Structure 1
């Protein structure tokens, strides 16, 4: 009797009966405990295996290529100005030197340079099959 009064004043009882609430919560807890293992998914992990033979010695990476684009759109290959038409041949020569151990192309652009020049340089590098391309940001 939620509204029965224990006092002589006749005021209704303000306490809530929590027994049904606890029963519902316990049932929900049991349901979640039973369904939780079903929701777990196995994760395949490919761990490295122990090797008795040491790996072959790695090649020393070649010196990176510093490619700079200034505000006027001029391209500099290791601080030497290069026309855009000769850039593809230079990149092809670097890739053909050792295709498995390519140098890193480090691109540094001026903040005011046109994006179109950078897009052409990136397209040329992709067409020359250059695999290691990085961007340099000077602080």
Structure 2
């Protein structure tokens, strides 16, 4: 009994296009859903030492108005005597204290740089200029 439809010499052609299509769809679904998966890990953090919290007093804020008056906390200093006064003021603070400078936009750039240079010469390493932008 010989089957006429079966031939041992035939090479079957595999069509893998549907397989590739299904894999691409699964890949797209995976790429969309993975960012939304949240992993929750239970972590017990170490207890920190009981030290004082850093207060805003650790930041020195210097303000310069249009008339070159320089304000530090509740004190007002003149521009011409600022270097000496700031050196006396700076002795009370740690040199790692952050210093922020706010200057009126009408002030000449060189005057602000003079104040910044005075702060750096007093030994403060963390000085920055504050802007509105």
TM-score by structure 2 length?
A: 0.48
